[in-house]
Structure 1
Amino acid sequence: MAIVLLVRHGRSSANTSGTLAGRLPGVHLDDTGREQVARTGERLADVPVVEVVTSPLERCGETTDAIARHHDLTATVDEAVTECGYGDWQGRPLTELADEALWRTVQSQPSAATFPGGESLMAMQARAVTAIRQHDARIEAAHGPSAVWVAVSHGDVIKSVLADAAGMHLDLFQRLHVDPASVSIVRYAPQRPTVVAVNTHAGDLGWLRGPEPSGDAPVGGGAGPA
C-alpha cells in the first residue's frame, strides 16, 4: 500500500487577483505562495519521498522544486494531473463567472458541468484519478508497499481525487476544501482507498517513516501511528 501526498500549488498571482487561471501560461507563485511552499518543503524534508509527480503548469513546477530539492529527486511531469480545462472561462474574473448559469451547476451538480470550449468536471476527475492510481501502483511495484510519493496539482483536481478515494459522488466534492500548499494524504489498498488527511498545513509527518499498516480498517479506530 503506497501512500500519496496530494499537494496543491502555493498561492499564485491569479489567486490573489481573483482570476480563474486555468491552463494559462505565465501564472507564478506570489511572495506568499513561495513562503507557503518553502514551509511545505521543510515539512516533508524528513519524509522518505521516493518520487514527485507534477502538473506541467509553472505554479506547480515552482511548488515541486521546493519539495524535490530536499530529496534529490527529479520530478515526473504528467499532463493528466494538470488543471481542469476551463475553456472559455479561463482568464476571466471569478466575480464575473459567478453570474453565469453554469456557476450554479458547478456548485450544486458538478457532475453535469462542462465548461464551454473546455472539459467536463467528470472528465477531469476520470483522467486525474486514473493517473494517480496508475502512478501509485507503479511506485509501489518499484519501491515496495510502504513507498511514499508526492503529487503536486490543483485545487479542483485534488478535491476530485479525494472524493473518489472517499467514495463520494462528484456532486459532493464541493464539500471538500483544499488550500494552497496544503497536504492531503491517501493510501490505496486492495480492499479500498483510505483518506488519511485532508487540507493539512502543519504537523509532524514523521510517522510516514513507520511500518506498513494492515490493510483492514481497525474496528474502533485503532491506536494511531506510533
Structure 2
Amino acid sequence: MATVLLVRHGRTTANASGLLAGRTPGVALDETGVEQAARTGERLSDVPLVGVVSSPLQRCRQTAQAILDEQSGAAALSIDDGISECDYGDWQGRSLADLTQEPLWSVVQNQPSAVTFPGGESMPTMQSRAITAVRENDAAFEAEHGAGAVWAAVSHGDIIKAVLADALGMHLDLFQRIAVNPASVSIVQYSSARPTVVSMNTDAGDLSWLSSTEAPPAEAPVGGGTGPSA
C-alpha cells in the first residue's frame, strides 16, 4: 500500500483576518503562511515523493509548489477538484465572528452530518468526494510506483479532518475533535483490510524515515510492532 501525506495549506490572509474564505478566488498565503509552507517543504525534502496532488485553490497550489521546490526527483503537480475546499455557499467570505451567531453554527460544531450550507454543499457530500479522491489517487500511485510509494495531497482543514475521521473509523459528527494546523502533515496508509493513521497534525519532526522504499505491513502488528527501520 502507498502512503499519503495530507498537507494543509499554510496560513492565509483570510485566516489571519478571521474570514471564512471558502472557494473565494485570490486568497493567497500571507507572509507567515509562505514561511510555514517552506518549512513543510524542507521537512519533506528527504522524502522522494512520487507526486503531489493539490486542491485547485491558490493557497494550496502555493503550498504544493513549496513542497515541489525542495524535491530532487521527478514528482509532478496535479490538480484534483475532489480535494478542493468545502463549498460553504452563502457563508463564504463572511467573518467567523458573525457566523457564530447563526443557528446553523451549533449544528456545524455538534452534528456536521446534518449540515447543508445555504447555497452550498452538505458536509457528508464534502467528506464523500474527498475520501473518493484520496483513495483513487492512492490506488493510482501504488499501481504505477509500487506499494512503497509516498505522495502528498495538499488540501484544506475541513477536508483533511473529514478524511482522517474516515480513516480512524469515526462518525463525521465527531470530526471537530480533530485539529489540523496550517502546513501540518498527517500520514495515512490504506490497505485492503483497513486504513492506518500513522500520524496527525504534525508541525515539526524528522520525516526522512518515509524515504524507505520498503512497503508498510499489510496487517496491524500485534503489540505495536517495531516502527520504521530508518
TM over 0.5: yes
Which TM-score band (shorter chain)?
Answer: over 0.9
Aligned pairs for 1:86-101 (under 5 A) are: 86-101=88-103
Residue 225 of structure 2 corresponds to residue 222 of structure 1 = yes
The aligned amino acid for 2:129 is R
Aligned pairs for 1:94-133 (under 5 A) are: 94-133=96-135
The aligned amino acid for 1:4 is V
The aligned amino acid for 1:124 is M
Give CA-to-partner distance per residue, 1:71-128, whole Å, 9 cap, x none.
2433101111000000000000000000001000000000001100000110000000
> Could you tell me which residue of structure 2 aligns to residue 149 of structure 1?
151
Residue 82 of structure 2 corresponds to residue 83 of structure 1 = no
> Could you tell me which residue of structure 2 aligns to residue 70 of structure 1?
70
The aligned amino acid for 1:69 is D
RMSD: 0.7
4+ runs deviating over 4 angstroms = none
Give CA-to-partner distance per residue, 1:9-34, whole Å, 9 cap, x none.
00000000000000001100000000
Aligned match for 1:161, one of 160, 163, 166: 163
* SS of residue in 2 equivalent to 1:150: strand
How far did 1:137 drift?
Answer: 0.4
Determine the C-alpha separation between the residues in 2 that align with 1:135 and 1:192.
17
* Alpha-carbon contact 2:50-2:76 (below 8 Å) kept: no
> Could you tell me which residue of structure 2 aligns to residue 213 of structure 1?
216
> Could you tell me which residue of structure 2 aligns to residue 180 of structure 1?
182
The aligned amino acid for 2:186 is S
Aligned match for 1:201, one of 200, 203, 209: 203
> Could you tell me which residue of structure 2 aligns to residue 48 of structure 1?
48
Give CA-to-partner distance per residue, 1:135-174, whole Å, 9 cap, x none.
0001000000000000000000000000001111000000
For structure 2, the 5+ residue unaligned runs are none
Aligned residues: 226
How far did 1:222 drift?
Answer: 1.2
TM-score, length of structure 1 as denominator length: 0.98
The aligned amino acid for 2:189 is R
How far did 1:213 drift?
Answer: 2.4
* Alpha-carbon contact 2:86-2:158 (below 8 Å) kept: yes
TM-score, length of structure 2 as denominator length: 0.97
The aligned amino acid for 1:134 is E
Determine the C-alpha separation between the residues in 2 that align with 1:214 and 1:11.
35
* SS of residue in 1 equivalent to 2:50: strand
How far did 1:70 drift?
Answer: 2.2
Task: Give me the identity figure in percent.
Answer: 64
> Could you tell me which residue of structure 1 aligns to residue 58 of structure 2?
58
* SS of residue in 2 equivalent to 1:118: coil
* SS of residue in 2 equivalent to 1:49: coil
